[in-house]
Chain A
Amino acid sequence: MSGIDIAENQPESFAFTPENEAKAEAIISKYPEGRQASAVMPLLDLAQRQHDNWIPLAAIDVISEKLKMPKMRVLEVATFYTMFNLKPVGKYFLQACTTTPCWLRGSDQVMKCIKDKLGLENHQTSEDGMFTLLEVECLGACANAPILQVNDDFYEDADYESTAKLLDALKKGEVPAPGSLSGRNVSEPEAGAQTLLSYKDNGAARTYDPKISAGETGEK
């Protein structure tokens, strides 16, 4: 499997929408004169978001012209980062982390579930064009391992069952709320908060309760 996967069918042309054009100009203006090439990654991201989550070669041309850098240098960046797709992906782009913490916490089960449910191996897209699976390295949320990223959202604490449920929902067109699939609050211990109990749970955020802080046993 080559790491350089560029779509064979390429659109003839690409242009930023007027809205994104303005965004691109704003991004470029952040960098000092002569350092415009620094804007290559945000611009690639912008192009990818505009173009069904993948970057056509025509967009590489547009960006290289905009930033006055050689096409090859833009393509190098686009192929270096796994976040950039150079060929069409499914409506739901699944990125499953299999780096050590996720693996220790059962990422194999997540991968198996995806295989069972969707029949997908790494780098494959389902026939209906709904799902694409990419095995990735650390997504930086190890406290909630294993992680399954769907487009821009993290689904955490995944196991076989919860992954199956998530995939079923996605198939139906529902998008469950991102976050822990086991129901815990962010990355608290599974049995609930053990420290900083003086902060009261107020929805997602905790507020300071002086009573608990003073040593009185408060309700959790």
Chain B
Amino acid sequence: MPKLTVNGVEVEVPAGASVLQACEEAGVEVPRFCYHERLSIAGNCRMCLVEMERSPKPVASCAMPAGDGMVIRTDTEMVKKAREGVMEFLLINHPLDCPICDQGGECDLQDQAMAFGQNDSRYDENKRAVEDKYMGPLVKTIMTRCIHCTRCVRFSTEVAGVTDMGLLGRGENAEITTYLEKAIDSEMSANVIDLCPVGALTSKPYAFVARPWELRKTESIDVMDAVGSNIRVDARGSEVMRVLPRLHEDVNEEWISDKTRYACDGLKRQRLDRPYLRKNGKLSPVSWDEAFAAIAAKLKGLKGAEIAAVAGDTVDVESMYALKGLMTALGSPNLDCRQDGAKLDATTRAGYLFNSTIAGIEDADAILIVGANPRWDAAVLNARIRKRWLAGGLKVGLIGAPVELTYEYEHLGAGPQTLTEVADGKNAFATVLKDAKRPMIILGMGALTREDGAAVLATARKIAESTGMLVAASTDADGNEIPAWNGFNVLHTAAARVGGLDLGFLPGKGGADVSGILEGASKGKIKAVYLLGADEIDTQRLGDAFVIYQGHHGDRGAHRADVILPGAAYTEKDALYVNTEGRVQMGLRASFPPGEAREDWAILRALSAHLGQALPYDSLDQLRAKLRSENEIFTEIDVAPVAEWGPFGTEGAMSDTGFGTTVENFYMTDPISRASKTMAECTEVFVLPKQGRTGTEG
């Protein structure tokens, strides 16, 4: 623990910390461009120069390890001159195009030139010009602005795990580019836009759209996957302009996937902005009262068992809770939140959570992935596995369809047979898991959305128990506490899933699950189906049932609906979501739903009154208070829970079919991303060519 003095303040920093980190510890701001906490150190921008006692020259603080007894100064004439000099050099070839630059207003170079530069340049010669590069449909390049900090190169190599980016040439001729100007083939590629300290890499869909100071910033939660990435939604008026990541060390660090970032343009298209009612086979706009009256007329006289409800993948906890309340009041046991038919078991909470937590991946030393493609199922979580893999000593095994991941793995087998071998200790990887201190199993939806899903779940549970994945808290010889470890993890793909399971949005006694509901509807046993944002089911099989669709996009569900109730998308409501770890998080409203659309819980509350079964709350606060009194899981916001281990899964025979993966196209998984133009472009550039190569294309 070296102790050093920064501007007369003594600080102690962990061994291996840099002088720059010591300065931050002392509360001293050091300007920088190339240095980034989460990337390797390059030391090439020289902006972080500080004065060190007994050093004749200023030192680059980001690359200088903090040593005991160092005396650092950042407030001297030497440092001021050094910063001015570096800034002058950086600006020699940087164009003065801030007025037309999208980075303007949130540009590190602009800010630091104001704070640390001079107001004049002594350079009269021509500035250099660099040709712009193609980097795909998301990243726009204006390479003349580049200052060669190489953050983007280090990010794509280290975090995203693609090696396409690099710095070609040298000196004045240096240029950042991708290999032969290919698009950056990564689900995390757009993070380079945030990392770029200047306007060289900017957002293509957001080009010339808005200025940062015009935007209203709202902190929210992403629903494109089950990671629950923390996001900031920037809106102007009623329009969501862009989505940016928000720092959360335990969830997404400071990255988000490209879908999270760019699907937001889908919020403007295909929206349901008024209620519709099917009259003579055609959907026509009606008033809320007419729509409610039509539903009331239809449901009147139906028995509870003849009504069913399915909750979609992006819906919030409150609306599911309201719908569950309504269905219970109507006497229907036919509820399900598992559109994909995953055989998840809600009896034990630990049986459907990512128990190790996302941050816990960094402690793991052996991971068995079963029926998942983490890169597409949860891109940000995959980056965490890569981070752990880069640190060394991690063994990864995969059972299921071989997929392209950003780390090396051993492909153990295709299906349940291999899984049984591991469970029985007959596979070599079982020994790897047993020998590991912190072994993990990641069970994907590809393994659970099968007929034998419950048996797969039980086998996975057996592996967790037999290979020592459940470690109780203990203290070591020195009296240090070793925290408990639960290596059993379910990787969900739907943002609403864990919340739904926590609420018990599941078939009641004698109730039908999703396949039962579809079966019943096609046979005419179930006469009315309430789809709450549920678009991923086979709507063909709904038969002649009366379908009420509540949601925000005119997608599959709405096309089949008899009544459409326009709801709010995730950026348009205050709502709770539970991520795959079981972490309850709160999203805030960034803009209002379009037209006559309303917040979802409020629609259900209003409908319940029309049906004569008024739900016992009149405001979101009252709803939440009631929800919390019934289920204390929702009391604590943003806490990764520790779930008790218990029995789950049903032992049984498993088929020989290999595990598949559920996400077929990363860029289009829900109504919002399906309506997004940007996601369509990404699909064309990244997904279709690959599918063409493997011969599985349409």
CA distance A110 to B552 in the complex (A): 74
* Chain B residues closer than 8 Å to A4, beta-carbon distance: 168-169, 173, 175, 177
* Chain B residues closer than 8 Å to A79, beta-carbon distance: 168-170
Q: Binary interface profile of A, 76-115, with partner B (CB < 8 Å = 1, else 0)?
A: 1001100000000000000000000000000000000000
Q: Binary interface profile of A, 111-133, with partner B (CB < 8 Å = 1, else 0)?
A: 00000000000000000000000
Query: Contacts A2-B131, A71-B179: A76 and B173 contacting too (C-beta < 8 A)?
Result: no
* Chain B residues closer than 8 Å to A70, beta-carbon distance: 163-164, 179
CA distance A164 to B145 in the complex (A): 43
Task: Please give me the residue from chain A that is nearest to B169 by CB atom.
Answer: A3
Give 29 A-B contacts (CB < 8 Å), ordered by A residue: A2-B130, A2-B169, A2-B173, A2-B175, A3-B169, A3-B170, A3-B171, A3-B172, A3-B175, A4-B169, A4-B173, A4-B175, A4-B177, A57-B180, A70-B163, A70-B164, A71-B163, A71-B179, A72-B163, A72-B164, A72-B165, A72-B166, A72-B179, A73-B166, A75-B168, A76-B166, A76-B168, A80-B169, A80-B170
- Tell me the minimal C-beta distance from B435 to chain A in angstroms: 23
Whether, in the assembled complex, B586 has its beta carbon less than 8 Å from a beta carbon of chain A, the answer is no
B residues sitting closer than 8 Å to A (CB atoms) are 130-131, 163-175, 177-180
* Chain A residues closer than 8 Å to B172, beta-carbon distance: 3
Task: Please give me the residue from chain B that is nearest to A60 by CB atom.
Answer: B179
| Prevailing SS type, chain A contact patch | helix
* Chain B residues closer than 8 Å to A2, beta-carbon distance: 130-131, 169, 173, 175
- Tell me the minimal C-beta distance from B676 to chain A in angstroms: 30
Task: Please give me the residue from chain B that is nearest to A86 by CB atom.
Answer: B168
Task: Please give me the residue from chain A that is nearest to B180 by CB atom.
Answer: A57
* Chain B residues closer than 8 Å to A71, beta-carbon distance: 163, 179
B174:A3 contact, CB within 8 angstroms:
yes
CA distance A70 to B167 in the complex (A): 13
Closest 10 CB pairs of A and B: A3-B173, A70-B163, A3-B169, A72-B166, A79-B168, A72-B179, A4-B168, A76-B166, A4-B169, A80-B170
A76:B167 contact, CB within 8 angstroms:
yes
CA distance A60 to B168 in the complex (A): 14
CA distance A76 to B169 in the complex (A): 7
Q: A3-B169, A76-B168 are in contact. List 8 more A-B contacts (CB 8 A).
A: A2-B173, A4-B169, A57-B180, A70-B163, A72-B163, A72-B165, A75-B166, A76-B167
* Chain A residues closer than 8 Å to B173, beta-carbon distance: 2-4
CA distance A70 to B169 in the complex (A): 17
* Chain A residues closer than 8 Å to B165, beta-carbon distance: 72
Task: Please give me the residue from chain B that is nearest to A72 by CB atom.
Answer: B166
- Tell me the minimal C-beta distance from B62 to chain A in angstroms: 22
* Chain A residues closer than 8 Å to B171, beta-carbon distance: 3
* Chain A residues closer than 8 Å to B131, beta-carbon distance: 2
Task: Please give me the residue from chain B that is nearest to A71 by CB atom.
Answer: B179
CA distance A213 to B163 in the complex (A): 64
- Tell me the minimal C-beta distance from A51 to chain B in angstroms: 19
- Tell me the minimal C-beta distance from A119 to chain B in angstroms: 24
* Chain B residues closer than 8 Å to A76, beta-carbon distance: 166-168
* Chain A residues closer than 8 Å to B177, beta-carbon distance: 4
Task: Please give me the residue from chain A that is nearest to B178 by CB atom.
Answer: A72
Query: Contacts A2-B131, A70-B163: A75 and B179 contacting too (C-beta < 8 A)?
Result: yes
- Tell me the minimal C-beta distance from A85 to chain B in angstroms: 14
* Chain A residues closer than 8 Å to B178, beta-carbon distance: 72
- Tell me the minimal C-beta distance from A47 to chain B in angstroms: 18
CA distance A75 to B165 in the complex (A): 11
CA distance A57 to B182 in the complex (A): 15
* Chain A residues closer than 8 Å to B167, beta-carbon distance: 76
* Chain A residues closer than 8 Å to B163, beta-carbon distance: 70-73
* Chain B residues closer than 8 Å to A75, beta-carbon distance: 166, 168, 179
Most A CB atoms within 10 A — which of B164, B165, B170, B175? B170
* Chain B residues closer than 8 Å to A80, beta-carbon distance: 168-170
- Tell me the minimal C-beta distance from B176 to chain A in angstroms: 11
CA distance A2 to B144 in the complex (A): 12
CA distance A7 to B688 in the complex (A): 30
Residues in A136-161 with C-beta less than 8 Å from chain B: none
Task: Please give me the residue from chain A that is nearest to B129 by CB atom.
Answer: A2
CA distance A2 to B143 in the complex (A): 13
Task: Please give me the residue from chain B that is nearest to A80 by CB atom.
Answer: B170
* Chain A residues closer than 8 Å to B179, beta-carbon distance: 70-72, 75
Task: Please give me the residue from chain A that is nearest to B179 by CB atom.
Answer: A72
Residues in A155-189 with C-beta less than 8 Å from chain B: none
CA distance A33 to B180 in the complex (A): 30
Residues in A1-19 with C-beta less than 8 Å from chain B: 2-4
Most B CB atoms within 10 A — which of A3, A57, A72? A72
Most A CB atoms within 10 A — which of B163, B168, B180? B168
Q: Binary interface profile of A, 49-80, with partner B (CB < 8 Å = 1, else 0)?
A: 00000000100000000000011110110011
CA distance A4 to B173 in the complex (A): 7
CA distance A75 to B164 in the complex (A): 11
- Tell me the minimal C-beta distance from B173 to chain A in angstroms: 2
CA distance A18 to B402 in the complex (A): 36
Task: Please give me the residue from chain A that is nearest to B167 by CB atom.
Answer: A76
CA distance A3 to B177 in the complex (A): 13
* Chain B residues closer than 8 Å to A57, beta-carbon distance: 180
- Tell me the minimal C-beta distance from B44 to chain A in angstroms: 14
Task: Please give me the residue from chain B that is nearest to A76 by CB atom.
Answer: B166
- Tell me the minimal C-beta distance from B296 to chain A in angstroms: 64
* Chain A residues closer than 8 Å to B168, beta-carbon distance: 3-4, 75-76, 79-80
- Tell me the minimal C-beta distance from B644 to chain A in angstroms: 44
CA distance A70 to B158 in the complex (A): 13
Task: Please give me the residue from chain B that is nearest to A79 by CB atom.
Answer: B168
CA distance A3 to B175 in the complex (A): 9
Residues in A32-59 with C-beta less than 8 Å from chain B: 57
* Chain A residues closer than 8 Å to B166, beta-carbon distance: 72-73, 75-76
- Tell me the minimal C-beta distance from A205 to chain B in angstroms: 38
CA distance A80 to B175 in the complex (A): 11
CA distance A2 to B180 in the complex (A): 15
- Tell me the minimal C-beta distance from A70 to chain B in angstroms: 3
CA distance A72 to B178 in the complex (A): 8
Task: Please give me the residue from chain B that is nearest to A57 by CB atom.
Answer: B180
- Tell me the minimal C-beta distance from A81 to chain B in angstroms: 8
Task: Please give me the residue from chain B that is nearest to A81 by CB atom.
Answer: B170
CA distance A79 to B179 in the complex (A): 12
CA distance A4 to B177 in the complex (A): 11
CA distance A76 to B179 in the complex (A): 10
CA distance A103 to B652 in the complex (A): 85
CA distance A72 to B135 in the complex (A): 14
Task: Please give me the residue from chain A that is nearest to B162 by CB atom.
Answer: A70
CA distance A4 to B180 in the complex (A): 12
* Chain B residues closer than 8 Å to A73, beta-carbon distance: 163, 166
- Tell me the minimal C-beta distance from B177 to chain A in angstroms: 8
Task: Please give me the residue from chain B that is nearest to A137 by CB atom.
Answer: B171
- Tell me the minimal C-beta distance from A170 to chain B in angstroms: 28
CA distance A72 to B167 in the complex (A): 9
CA distance A216 to B93 in the complex (A): 64
CA distance A139 to B166 in the complex (A): 27
* Chain A residues closer than 8 Å to B169, beta-carbon distance: 2-4, 79-80
CA distance A4 to B169 in the complex (A): 6
CA distance A117 to B180 in the complex (A): 37
Task: Please give me the residue from chain B that is nearest to A78 by CB atom.
Answer: B168
- Tell me the minimal C-beta distance from A202 to chain B in angstroms: 43
CA distance A208 to B165 in the complex (A): 59
* Chain B residues closer than 8 Å to A3, beta-carbon distance: 168-175
- Tell me the minimal C-beta distance from A131 to chain B in angstroms: 22
